Amino acid sequence: MKRSLVHALVFLFLAGGILLSGCGGGGESAMASIPPGVASALAWDAPQTYEDHTPLDPYRDLDCYEFYVRNDPNFTENDLPMAEVAAVEDVLSPDGKAYLKNLTSLFNLDNLKPFLTPGARYYLSIRAVGMDGLKSGFSQPVSWDHTS
Amino acid sequence: MRRKAISMMFVFLLAILATAIAAQAETLAWNAVTTYTDGTSIGAATVNYQAYWTTNSNMTGLTALGTSGTALTRTFNVDTEVMPRGSIIYFTVKATVNGTDSALATALNWTVPTKAPSAPSNLRMQ
């Protein structure tokens, strides 16, 4: 049931052309802020372990990611996600004959803009959700100056 | 030669050995068997123990936990044993002395712990 919801959300994102693909490199960004109007996507690295440090295969063991937005960086268990995307997406192979599994690692911030106030500073954090529904802790938040 | 049934007066203790590396280990422990069912002492005879687990509360479909031996503990890994996370499973132990098996110890039920993923890292704007 939940996976259906996730898949529906991803479909909507894809249909609207607002879910970017690919995986960026990048440096550390704990609470990093880039100039207003420049940021267009949120990127992250998939977890490779469970909280008990045992190995995790993100292709097999992750269900989705949840996106959280606040006006401050103090995320709590009472916060509700503003968006959700599948942890693994199917992308068409170069020859167009098959689908390949691709880890979702980028989220277009345009998805959030309709629900936020332009000109305000927001803090974003994400959580990974395992196949059994258990959620990770919050990622280190990043700040985002939402222009328009 | 007289053979006696073995009295299995187990007291189970299930301890989690927290580890910060690799696989998390769990340990099943029990008290030693010291008497036969008629109350006489086993004495210096060697007692071997075999631990089992099952998902069935009626203790059918037992799966051996490790191999038989004289130790009073069995350390295991939930994932290696393919135990169903989030579900209740049942442990029991059988003692053997000079080829005679005891009855199964009173079952210990245990909820196999679930585990959450670590948080995504390197969250950044692009």
Residue B117: list chain A partners with CB under 8 A. Answer: 47, 49-51, 56, 61-62, 128-130, 134-136
Domains of chain B in sequence order: 13-111 (2.60.40.10)
Domains of chain A in sequence order: 2-22+43-145 (2.60.40)
For B39-62, the pLDDT digits (tens) are 999 999 999 999 999 999 999 999
Judged by average pLDDT, the poorest of A26-30, A87-91, A114-118, A142-146 is A26-30
For B59-86, the pLDDT digits (tens) are 999 999 999 999 999 999 998 999 988 8
Pick from B27, B91, B88: nearest CA to B64: B91
Residue B115: list chain A partners with CB under 8 A. Answer: 50-52, 54, 130, 134
Query: Does A33 have pLDDT greater than 70?
Result: no
Q: Which residue of B has its CA nearest to A104?
A: B120
Question: If pLDDT is split at 50, 70 and 90, which confidence band does A5 have?
Answer: very low
**What are the distances in angstroms from CA B52 to CA A14, B61, B62?**
49, 10, 6
Do the Cβ atoms of A134 and B115 come within 8 Å? Answer: yes
| CB-based burial label for B77 (10 Å; 0-12, 13-18, 19+) | middle
Q: How many CA atoms lie within 13 A of A111 on its CB side?
A: 27
Between these two residues, A59 and B14, which has the higher pLDDT value? A59
Q: What is the pLDDT of residue B25?
A: 86
Do the Cβ atoms of B125 and A61 come within 8 Å? Answer: no
Do the Cβ atoms of A128 and B23 come within 8 Å? Answer: no
Mean pLDDT of the region B93-101: 94
Query: Does B118 have pLDDT greater than 70?
Result: yes
